[in-house]
Amino acid sequence: MNFSNFLQCLCFHHRVMENNQTTVTDFILLGFLVSPEMKMFFFGLFFLFYTFALLGNGVILGLIYLDSRLHTPMYFFLSQLAIVDITYASNTVPQMLANLLYPAKPISFAGCIMQTYLFLTLAHVECLLLVMMSYDRYVAICHPLRYTLIMNRGMCIALAITSWVGGNLLALVHVILLLRLPFCGPREINHFFCELLSVLKLACADIWLNKLVTFIACIFIVVVPLSLVLISYTHILAAILRIHSREGRKKAFSTCSSHLCVVGLFFGNAIILYMTPNSRNFEEQHKILFLFYSFFNPTLNPLIYSLRNAEVKGAFRRLLRKERLV
């Protein structure tokens, strides 16, 4: 049985357990509470960002696939990150664009839960992939002579599978705990997608367990991975400082600078979203910050890796030369 059927079974069980209450069968995503003119402006702006995100990550995937010089562990993980970014944007943006044009269009209960599950899965997977990429850079710079031996194809595939399986399992825990709750109204979610905390606010029961698990998950999936990344880069920095050649230090640091930028964007947003006290405009600030995961990060990541990476730019130039010759 695939996950979609499994989710439908859980949703059916969720409704059967609530036979004494009026069960919510769909939700309304309120999105951004602005004027119709601003909604049309946002529609055009977000559609543009979504297009750039798909094109940018698609180009990265195409270059890695077509250029044999990019068939290395670092670019293998970068291709996984590009897949995550494309799926990230496609999970939330089409629904948001539709809601900007048709504000009263509802999303089904199962569709909302699926959107929550996918978003959490992709967030966890990206977090774990960034840790794997920092480990790859650690081995490349601190143990260069053993790099090909340690980061062989089997190891890369195992690390990628660990990231995807771990992300799915962690998201599934949140979804199962969410489905045990009754939803009897209201049905308006003050967000542009079915974000976990916004959905939990509509539950007609105590959500202390969900909040506790969310807090523990934040420690496990934000603090611990960020600590591992910082430990890796502490060793990397120490190794770079031991390089006597200025050109060698510059080359070593250039292989890490792109990854550091992406790490800063991802973990910076995560810390602000889930680990800072709630302010008066908490919900509106959350919407803006979540735009980074839906639009800005998927758009900026390929730009960061292409503009700050000589190998990616070289692969792009070689591809253009081949196209001219053809």
Q: Mean of the per-residue pLDDT values for the chain?
A: 84
Look up residue 32 and give its two tokens: 């951004």
pLDDT value at 90 more than 70? yes
* Choice among 94-108, 197-211, 240-254 with the minimum mean pLDDT: 240-254
Query: Tens digit of pLDDT for each residue in 179-238?
Result: 999 888 788 888 889 999 889 999 988 899 998 998 888 888 888 998 999 999 999 888
- The Cα 78–Cα 308 span in angstroms is 14
pLDDT at position 18:
44
pLDDT value at 276 more than 70? no
pLDDT value at 145 more than 70? yes
Tell me the percentage of the chain whose pLDDT exceeds 90.
36
pLDDT at position 269:
81
- pLDDT category of residue 249 using cuts at 50, 70 and 90: confident
The mean pLDDT value for 78-89 works out to 92
pLDDT at position 16:
46
pLDDT at position 252:
73
Peptide bond preceding 103 in cis form (omega within 30 of 0): no
- pLDDT category of residue 307 using cuts at 50, 70 and 90: low
- The Cα 255–Cα 218 span in angstroms is 29
pLDDT at position 130:
93
Across the chain, the runs of DSSP E, i.e. the strands, are: 26-29, 107-108, 188-189
What CATH number was assigned to the domain covering residues 3-13+24-320? 1.20.1070.10
pLDDT at position 24:
77
- How many alpha carbons fall within 13 Å on the CB side of residue 226? 16
pLDDT value at 31 more than 70? yes
Q: Are 263 and 130 in contact (CB under 8 A)?
A: yes
Neighbours of 254 (CB within 10 A): 12
pLDDT value at 161 more than 90? yes
pLDDT at position 300:
85
In 181-245, alpha helices (H): 196-200, 208-218, 224-241
Q: What secondary structure letter does DSSP report for 275?
A: S
pTM for this entry: 0.87
Long-range contacts from 38-41, C-beta under 8 angstroms, 24+ separation: 39/100, 39/101, 39/103, 40/100
pLDDT at position 239:
86
- The Cα 210–Cα 204 span in angstroms is 13
Burial of residue 79 (CB within 10 Å: 0-12, 13-18, 19+) is buried
pLDDT at position 270:
81
- Report which of 133, 150, 162, 324 is spatially closest to residue 233, judged by C-alpha positions: 133
pLDDT value at 17 more than 50? no
Helix (H, G, I), strand (E, B) or coil at 189: strand
- pLDDT category of residue 250 using cuts at 50, 70 and 90: confident
pLDDT value at 50 more than 50? yes
pLDDT at position 280:
56
